Amino acid sequence: MKDYNDYMDGISAGHELHEKIMERAGRGAKPDAPRRKRPFLRYAGAVACAVLVIFCVWLFPNLPGEPGKNDPEACLLCGGNACVCSPGAPDEPVQSTPPLGPGENGDRPLEWWEIPLFLNSFEELARAKEKNYFETYYPVYSSKYYGLYLENLNFYYIPVYAVSHYNLYGVTLSSGGIASSFSKSTAPWLEDVPWKDRFTLTSYHAEPEYMVRRIKSGELKPWISGTIYYQEFNSFSGSRTLFYWVQDGDTFSLNISTELLNEIKKNDPGALEGPLFELQRVDLE
């Protein structure tokens, strides 16, 4: 490598390079502006991608179609955010399986959790009522007990229109948008129901199988009784009008629509004072 070393020995920086070095050292900065941009430009693509990703992450939950965010009838149970129990959620799968008759599943009466009833609209609910569906398919219930199953992805959504006897079973008895939407126009058959019976029971929120296990194990009582009082209640999701009753130390609540409450106050203002009525036990055995 002697030739290589000889060649290298013949190379020197020269006065010009020396002056450039000292000039830059004296200024403490690089002389050519385009090069100064190099470190930024090298990472400019990565920075742009990161900004884009952050923007997309921010944008996605704010898209107009996001469930719950723009739902005017957001669920009362979860504070109005997206949830599977909200019938107003736009992504909710809709099943329109027609109700089965008693004979289609054998001779024995169906248990309440076996009833494959899927109602997708208040019109269907009204038609079911006209056909006396609930009275037919709830043999263990009082004949004045009206219920509705809606199946979501993982939950049964059961707003219950109670008349005089309440059979909670600890199951999901929920109100939400459906209960609030009951009105003369959507359910004209309700005209025959006394005003104080127009309650939607609001209680647990869980998968029915889980609740059935609790019922069968005795953890939850199969029926309740108690006294219902009227009370204005400010829930976490906003001002709600609720009725309460207590059973074995547990507080349950009934939800009533503002529309109905106003109707009650207008027609019979004294009706909300004192105990409204007693819940009657219904023995299933």
Partner 1 sequence: MNEQSGRPVDCRISETEETVKRNENRLLRAALAIMGSKADAEDVVQDVFLKLFEKQPRFETPEHETAWLLTVTANLCKTRLSSPWRKKTVPLLADYPAQTGAQQNILEAVLSLPAKYRAIIHLFYYEGYSTKEIAEITQQKESTVRQQLTRARRALKAFLGEENHERL
Question: To the nearest whole angstrom, how small is the minimum distance from the Cβ of residue 50 to partner 1?
Answer: 21
Q: Where are the strands (E) in 205-266, listed by range?
A: 226-235, 238-247, 250-255
Question: To the nearest whole angstrom, how small is the minimum distance from the Cβ of residue 23 to partner 1?
Answer: 9
Question: To the nearest whole angstrom, how small is the minimum distance from the Cβ of residue 17 to partner 1?
Answer: 5
Question: To the nearest whole angstrom, how small is the minimum distance from the Cβ of residue 42 to partner 1?
Answer: 7
- Work out whether 1 is an interface residue with partner 1 (CB under 8 A): yes
Which residue from 11, 57, 59, 63 is in contact with partner 1, where contact means CB under 8 A? 11
Q: CA 96, CA 121: separation in Å to the nearest integer? A: 10
What one-letter code names the amino acid at 257? S
Write the CB contacts of 19 (distance below 8 Å, at least 6 apart in sequence). none
Binding segment for partner 1 (CB under 8 A), chosen from 1-9, 57-65, 215-223, 273-281, is: 1-9
- Work out whether 17 is an interface residue with partner 1 (CB under 8 A): yes
136, burial (CB in 10 Å: exposed 0-12, middle 13-18, buried 19+): middle
- 81's tokens: 């955010």
Residues in 74-93 at the binding interface with partner 1, rule: CB under 8 A: none
**Nearer CB in complex with partner 1: 3/191:** 3
Torsion sign over Cα 36, 40, 41, 42: positive
**Nearer CB in complex with partner 1: 35/265:** 35
Residues in 26-45 at the binding interface with partner 1, rule: CB under 8 A: 26, 28, 30-31, 35, 38, 41-42
Residues binding partner 1: what is the number (CB under 8 A)?
27
Q: Where are the strands (E) in 89-205, listed by range?
A: 145-147, 150-151, 156-157, 160-162, 199-202
Question: To the nearest whole angstrom, how small is the minimum distance from the Cβ of residue 14 to partner 1?
Answer: 9
157, 168 Cβ separation under 8 angstroms: no
The residues that touch partner 1, with contacts defined as CB under 8 A, are 1-8, 10-13, 17-18, 20-22, 24-26, 28, 30-31, 35, 38, 41-42
